[in-house]
Amino acid sequence: MTITRIFTLTLLIVVTMTTQVIAQPGAGNLVQQEGQLIQDLSSHRWKLKRMHPGRGVEEGLHELPSGDIETSVWIPAKVPGDVYTDLWKAGVLEDPYFGRNSVKAQWVMQDEWWYSLQFNVSQAVDNKIVRLEFDGVDYSCEVWLNGHYLGNHEGMFSPFSFDVTELLHTSSSWLHGRNILMVKLNPPPQVNHKVAGLKTPWFGDYWRDLVPFGIWRPVRLVSTGHVRFDNLYVKSKLNEDGSADLDIEMTVENVAKDPRDVAVNVTLEGHNFDCEPIHLSSERTFQPGSQTIHQTVTVEAPKLWWPWDLGDPNLYTANVSITDHASELDRKSTTFGIREVKMEWNPGFTKDEVSFPRTVMLNGKRHFIRSACWGGPPDIFVGRTSTDEYKKLIEMAKDANMNNIRIFGWHPPEIPEFYQYCNEAGITVWQDVIPLGTANLSQDEAFIERIYEEAIAVIRERRNHPCLILIEGGEEAFLRASDAEFTKKFLDELGRRLQQHIDLPYVPDSPLTCPVAQSVGYKPKEAVHALAYFYSMGRWLMEDWYSELDFPIVPELAITSVPNVESLRKFIPEDELWPPGPSWGHHWADLDRLRMQNFDTFGEERTGSLQEFVDATQDSQGTIFQLSVEHFRRGKPRVSGIALCHYITYWPDMKWGIVDNYQQPKRSYEFVKRAYQPLLVSLQFDRRRWHAGESFAGKLWIVNDRFESHENCQVELSFYDDQDHVLATQTIPVERIAPDSSTMITDIDWPIAKSVDTVFHVKLKLIDSEAETLSSNRYMLLIGDQAEAREHMKQLGKKMHESVSKYTYDNYYRFFPELNDSGGKPSDSQTDVPRAAGFD
């Protein structure tokens, strides 16, 4: 790797000295670098106390002396974490995830909660500036250090800090170096409309009315010299000659009262590959205050970052320090990737049909998005989640052949480790920047300005991650917009401001196809949230539904299932497991729709036992996902991406995920893994039900998302009965598979044996010239009458919608007649658990 210098430089080799310092009791993890001291205050040593609103200050909790031991009897707490998890661990709450306990925990969000930490600072801070940094507090807090009021903050996602240089107690003596930090969490907001964009929504059909809150991200002390910097950003641009220009941007603050002459030193090196480190330095004078500076270099032969199915996810590290003639004043490092994202129009759609190009071009190559909505964090109560779970989930997403994860607008931007693991795995991220699951915002200018500020803070913190390739404003905002003109103006301005800080494509909302969105100029084919099969269950059989969908991109493709029996036992009381009790409904099991999709898939509802029903719902979810995903993938390049809804969900529910809250994959996970193979052999058919004795008709396709061709291949196609006996086989030659292609190979025509009873299976195997299997696939089809099945589904749907009209969709009492028809009590015994109707 060589670098061409664009500005006048003084070559300087920067030597970093890092030592671990043994801290005194309660000091936290202490990392000292030359010129910088970072004391991590995140730990299990925090304490928690409940107070009624306003009572904490009245009682003087913020005035407790730093050496006092009164907080030792408070509830043990962890930061990062959340209030509910701390209370659950302490025995104050029953597990809110279990049964219907979340309803019993609603009192928690009516009070204020005081977090306290006592810690020591043994190092002197002479000639230093010390800041107390919070990466994120959910949602509103006030902060005191050693009895001194530091300030308040609102907004879950934006970091904030305080200068505490003059307030710290520092001494090698344990007593005199003791400090006490108090953080008062105000009761969380109860109306999302008033905090949308500033806090994760706590509603939707996979959560109950329990508002999470807590100190959800790390807290630390950071000491630097009088010249310090933050917001280190490395932006790359690829040139036609194969080189890359890097623009290194940082905000530098001189907190002194006079100008300071310093050197800004940059070291570039390979993060996950070997290369010769490059050291650069420029002399600068900084006036008091803050300013943004840029340093630009050209890398002649860069190793580009790629998603895993197109290349290697090569990463660089930039180490930057500021030094004066005597010492190092501040330093930071960031991991980044050299890559370039552009958008192209999807062929086949006119600009009268779509407003935005929807094909991602990554380093000049088409990146067909095989994605799923994240549905996270792994727990809505973040204190229950570990970074190990994040790492496992990212690995499982890659193993399922996903090359992208979408964080959509009902869920928060993720912690740094999420993006780090995506960077390393070569998985791109499609990011709704902040949670805007509603467009009915207050139009107060100050409030709207706060949303913009919060979104900018989010994107500036995450913009170095090369995995981040798309940004979006809202999520189904226009579906609920009472003022469409305001919503459009707001989302357009949000995009304009975000793109001042990051060079990525922006789309204001998803899907933009509803009548409200079209009323302000968006087009009828922008994108599709493929949710109608679920929400309009009974209107179609699955193949009739997905075959009608024709859009350039699919941000959401949804169907539901039940977690594994082993997982169910962790959150459903034993006496409610089977037949289903009310806790199923509380965890959003739509028992009518689950039975109906089972019928669609198998020709029967499969309610004979718990295991049979669970397996059937997962196989149904997998079948619907597989067939619809393959339908869209065969449409490339007209179609450019699909995101399932969801990959995970943030509590143990009976809803969208293909991996449950205990990181256990459902059977549907394997269906998705097959459908998302980068090189896919696929069978297209118009219906799943056939009569014995007629000819099965289909089309054989090969879809290739990679940029490599294959010559002289063949497809082995086999038909099996339900006992796995071979009924027929044939071999189909494939002369060439072109890179980045979707090709119909041939028509398939097979006379179905009259001996086939209820189902038959089709298995495909794509083999190269060396007899290596490149792709395999399989399908289950039914012996039955398509017209009769359509009519039966319509009747089931009619019955279900009558129930929904009476009780509403989100009232699960409709599944349990005893809860509605006898005043909420079982008819013969108050101790009997109500049971779902229609289950044996």
Tell me the Cα Rg of the chain.
29
Which residues touch 197 (CB under 8 Å, ≥6 apart)?
A: 434, 435, 436, 441, 450, 451, 454, 455
Rounded CA gap, 410 and 400, in Å?
A: 23
What confidence category does residue 171 fall into, taking pLDDT thresholds of 50, 70 and 90? Answer: confident
Q: What is the per-residue pLDDT for 26?
A: 42
- Neighbouring CB atoms inside 10 A of 750's CB total 17
Rounded CA gap, 97 and 210, in Å?
A: 11
Reading the block at residue 737, the tokens are 């598979």
Q: What is the per-residue pLDDT for 25?
A: 36
User: Is the CB of residue 246 less than 8 Å from the CB of residue 298?
Assistant: yes
- 575 pLDDT above the threshold of 90: yes
Rounded CA gap, 172 and 74, in Å?
A: 27
Lowest mean pLDDT among 170-179, 403-412, 558-567, 731-740: 170-179
Show the beta-strand stretches assigned E in 186-277. Answer: 219-224, 227-238, 244-254, 260-270
- Neighbouring CB atoms inside 10 A of 211's CB total 21
Residue in the structure block whose two tokens are 């004066």 = 324
User: Is the CB of residue 336 less than 8 Å from the CB of residue 250?
Assistant: no
User: Is the CB of residue 663 less than 8 Å from the CB of residue 570?
Assistant: no
Mean pLDDT for 99-108 is 97
Query: What is the DSSP track for 677-741?
Result: -SEEEEEE-S-SEE-TTSEEEEEEEEEE-SS--EEEEEEEEEEEETT--EEEEEEEEEEEE-SSE
Mean pLDDT of the chain: 92
Mean pLDDT for 534-563 is 97
DSSP code, position 576 = G
Rounded CA gap, 505 and 670, in Å?
A: 32
What confidence category does residue 825 fall into, taking pLDDT thresholds of 50, 70 and 90? Answer: low
Q: What is the per-residue pLDDT for 8?
A: 27
User: What are the sequence ranges of the domains in the chain?
Assistant: 3-15+225-336, 35-217, 347-569+622-667, 680-786
Q: What is the per-residue pLDDT for 37?
A: 75
Model pLDDT for residues 576-591, shown as the tens digit of each residue: 999 999 999 999 999 9
What confidence category does residue 438 fall into, taking pLDDT thresholds of 50, 70 and 90? Answer: low
What confidence category does residue 20 fall into, taking pLDDT thresholds of 50, 70 and 90? Answer: very low
755 vs 30, higher pLDDT: 755
Model pLDDT for residues 54-85, shown as the tens digit of each residue: 999 999 999 999 988 999 999 999 999 999 99
Residue 413 preceded by cis peptide, ω within 30: no
Cα 694 to the center of its chain, rounded Å: 46
Give the residues across from 222 on adjacent strands: 38, 131
User: Is the CB of residue 658 less than 8 Å from the CB of residue 647?
Assistant: yes
Q: What is the per-residue pLDDT for 173?
A: 75
User: Is the CB of residue 37 less than 8 Å from the CB of residue 328?
Assistant: no
User: Is the CB of residue 599 less than 8 Å from the CB of residue 684?
Assistant: no
Same fold, 3-15+225-336 and 680-786: yes
Q: 352-375 burial, b if ≥16 CB within 10 A, otherwise e?
A: eebbbbbbbbbbebbbbbbbbbbb
Which residues touch 355 (CB under 8 Å, ≥6 apart)?
A: 512, 521, 522, 523, 526
Q: What is the per-residue pLDDT for 826?
A: 54
- 567 pLDDT above the threshold of 80: yes
Give ∠ CA 289-295-301 in degrees, rounded to 5. 160
What is the assigned CATH class of domain 3-15+225-336?
mainly beta
Specify the CATH architecture of the domain 347-569+622-667: Alpha-Beta Barrel (3.20)
Strand order across the beta sheet in which 359-362 lies: 341-344, 359-362, 365-366
Q: What is the per-residue pLDDT for 294?
A: 93
Give the residues across from 100 on adjacent strands: none
What is the dihedral sign for C-alpha 598, 534, 193, 489?
positive
Mean pLDDT for 604-623 is 98
Rounded CA gap, 727 and 718, in Å?
A: 7
Q: What is the per-residue pLDDT for 818?
A: 85
Reading the block at residue 7, the tokens are 């500005």
What confidence category does residue 125 fall into, taking pLDDT thresholds of 50, 70 and 90? Answer: confident
- 477 pLDDT above the threshold of 70: yes
Q: What is the per-residue pLDDT for 227?
A: 95
Model pLDDT for residues 644-691, shown as the tens digit of each residue: 999 999 999 999 999 999 999 999 999 999 999 999 999 999 999 999
- 1 pLDDT above the threshold of 50: no
Q: What is the per-residue pLDDT for 823?
A: 58
Which residues touch 246 (CB under 8 Å, ≥6 apart)?
A: 234, 235, 236, 268, 296, 297, 298, 299, 338
Helix (H, G, I), strand (E, B) or coil at 42: coil
Q: What is the per-residue pLDDT for 381?
A: 97
- 4 pLDDT above the threshold of 70: no
What confidence category does residue 830 fall into, taking pLDDT thresholds of 50, 70 and 90? Answer: very low
Specify the CATH architecture of the domain 35-217: Sandwich (2.60)
Closest CA to 283 of 12, 36, 16, 13: 12
Rounded CA gap, 229 and 356, in Å?
A: 37
Specify the CATH architecture of the domain 680-786: Sandwich (2.60)
The dihedral over CA atoms of 389, 392, 397, 400, expressed in degrees to the nearest 10, equals: -140
Distances (CA, A) of 465 to 211, 455, 470, 471: 30, 16, 12, 13
Percent of the chain with pLDDT over 70: 94
What is the dihedral sign for C-alpha 792, 796, 797, 798?
positive
User: Is the CB of residue 492 less than 8 Å from the CB of residue 522?
Assistant: no
Percent of the chain with pLDDT over 90: 86
Closest CA to 295 of 49, 9, 649: 9
User: Is the CB of residue 543 less than 8 Å from the CB of residue 688?
Assistant: yes
Rounded CA gap, 168 and 388, in Å?
A: 34
Which residues touch 60 (CB under 8 Å, ≥6 apart)?
A: none
Closest CA to 267 of 340, 338, 335: 335
Rounded CA gap, 594 and 599, in Å?
A: 9
Model pLDDT for residues 353-387, shown as the tens digit of each residue: 999 999 999 999 999 999 999 999 999 999 999 99
Reading the block at residue 622, the tokens are 């997998």
Distances (CA, A) of 748 to 21, 632, 719, 729, 731: 71, 20, 12, 12, 11
